[in-house]
């Protein structure tokens, strides 16, 4: 059964000592993808910007560039819209054996946004990390399939790591979070991506939403109060990309709404801004995801 959601996201920035001439880059509009349809919705900003440009970024994510000439003491960015999710297909494991994955990747002569090549080496937020690589090697046995490996890493991380919003912030590196064994969805996802790439499995970052209140009789998922993040992994030419949520150790499904896809957080941050301001700022995120 497909589900329709009403979604609202408001990000508000308050500046102590505002300065003029700020620019903002937003990735807040959910994508339409197989199994997910943006029915209606738009990104808006208050106060209204002096210039605006909407486009798609390299990975196909909707991108909004805004410029404000006047100093802003407070600005809020808002997405409101309706999204339909369709039932995912059953997941038989047709994925490639781990040791045959490199050969299959090499056969992908493509730099298209979905090409696995983008998701293998280091990227802005994903380093080479021997200790995470060692962890991954230990979790994944010889001869397993790619999907098997992905699920094992998710399970192991979920068991090993504590969900703790006070332990990390948006700039925490995967290695720091891994050492602390604590973090939030961003940390879980970055660690898992680091681990998968170390195994030679192309892995990327998904930003999105979880439904706020679970269906009756089910537990509320971690990460439902803010924007959520999970992982996509390429499991061979046949299966392609799968999405998995290590924070809740589950395959992403009807409850997961994709906003943007990228290599790591730096590619999909919902807001990036520049203001030539000294002084502090505060941020507030409000998220509501309600099934209709």
Residue 39, interface with other proteins (CB under 8 A)? no
Shortest reach from residue 210's CB to other proteins, in Å: 26
Smallest distance from other proteins to CB 185, Å: 20
**What is the DSSP pairing of strand 281-291 with strand 182-183?**
unpaired
Contact status: 23 vs other proteins (CB under 8 A): yes
Stretch that binds other proteins, among 17-25, 84-92, 130-138, 239-247 (CB under 8 A): 17-25
Site for other proteins in 78-107 (CB under 8 A): 105-106
Here's the x/- map for other proteins, 265-284, by CB under 8 A: it reads as: -x-----xxx----------
Judged by CB under 8 A, which of 3, 6, 14, 25 binds other proteins? 25
Query: Where do we find the tokens 């939403």?
Result: 209
Considering only 1, 48, 55, 280, the residue that binds other proteins (CB under 8 A) is: 55
Assess 50 for contact with other proteins (CB under 8 A). Answer: yes
Specify the residue, 2 or 21, whose C-beta has the smaller distance to other proteins. Answer: 21
List binders of other proteins among 120-149 (CB under 8 A).
120-121, 124
* CB neighbour list of residue 117: distance below 8 Å, 6 or more residues apart: 105, 108, 110, 111, 202
Q: Which candidate, 20, 71, 79, 74, places its Cα nearest to that of 54?
A: 79
Radius of gyration of the chain (CA): 19
- In our burial notation (b when 16+ CB lie closer than 10 A, e otherwise), range 157-171 reads bbeebebeeebbeee
The neighbour count for residue 108, using CB atoms within 10 Å, is: 15
Report yes or no: 77 and 285 within 8 Å, Cβ to Cβ: no
Candidate list 112, 134, 170, 290; residue touching other proteins; CB under 8 A: 112
**CA-CA distances (angstroms) from residue 135 to 107, 130, 166, 192, 266?**
29, 9, 24, 10, 24
The two structure tokens encoding residue 95: 């994925």
Strand-pair partners of 144: none
The span of 48-56, 71-79, 214-222, 246-254 binding other proteins (CB under 8 A) equals: 48-56
**Of 117, 155, 181, 281, the one binding other proteins by CB under 8 A:** 117
Beta bridge partners of 64: 26, 54
For other proteins, which residue of 3, 10, 45, 67 counts as binding (CB under 8 A)?
Answer: 67
Q: Indicate the residue among 52 and 82 with the shorter CB distance to other proteins.
A: 52
Return the number of the residue (218 or 278) whose C-beta is nearest other proteins: 278
Q: According to CB under 8 A, which one of 57, 80, 114, 148 is a site residue for other proteins?
A: 57
Stretch that binds other proteins, among 45-53, 145-153, 161-169, 278-286 (CB under 8 A): 45-53
Q: How many CA atoms lie within 13 A of 285 on its CB side?
A: 11
Judging by DSSP bridges, how do beta strands 182-183 and 162-163 pair with one another? parallel
List interacting residues with other proteins (CB under 8 A).
21, 23, 25, 50-51, 53, 55, 57-59, 65, 67, 69, 105-106, 108-112, 115, 117-118, 120-121, 124, 266, 272-274
């Amino acid at each position: 059964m497909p589900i329709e959601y009403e979604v609202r996201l408001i990000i508000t920035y308050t500046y102590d000592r505002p300065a003029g001439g700020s620019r903002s880059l937003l990735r807040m509009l959910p994508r339409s993808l197989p199994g997910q349809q943006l029915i209606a919705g738009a990104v808006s900003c208050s106060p209204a910007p002096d210039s605006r440009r909407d486009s798609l970024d390299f990975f196909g994510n909707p991108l909004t560039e805004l410029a404000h000439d006047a100093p802003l003491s407070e600005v809020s960015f808002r997405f409101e819209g309706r999204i339909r999710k369709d039932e995912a297909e059953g997941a038989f494991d047709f994925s490639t054996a781990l040791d045959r994955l490199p050969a299959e990747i090499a056969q992908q002569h493509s730099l298209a946004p979905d090409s696995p090549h983008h998701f293998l080496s280091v990227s802005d937020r994903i380093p080479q990390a021997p200790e995470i690589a060692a962890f991954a090697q230990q979790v994944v046995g010889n001869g397993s399939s790619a999907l098997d490996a992905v699920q094992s890493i998710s399970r192991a991380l979920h068991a090993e790591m504590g969900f703790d919003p006070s332990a990390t912030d948006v700039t925490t590196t995967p290695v720091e979070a891994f050492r602390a064994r604590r973090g939030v969805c961003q940390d879980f996802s970055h660690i898992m991506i680091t681990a998968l790439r170390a195994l030679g499995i192309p892995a990327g970052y998904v930003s999105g939403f979880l439904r706020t209140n679970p269906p009756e009789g089910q537990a509320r998922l971690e990460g439902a109060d803010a924007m959520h993040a999970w992982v996509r992994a390429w499991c061979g030419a046949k299966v392609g990309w799968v999405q998995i949520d290590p924070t809740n150790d589950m395959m992403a499904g009807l409850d997961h709404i994709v906003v943007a896809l990228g290599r790591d957080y730096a590619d999909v941050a919902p807001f990036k801004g520049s203001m030539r301001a000294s002084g502090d700022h505060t941020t507030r995120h409000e998220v509501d995801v309600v099934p209709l």
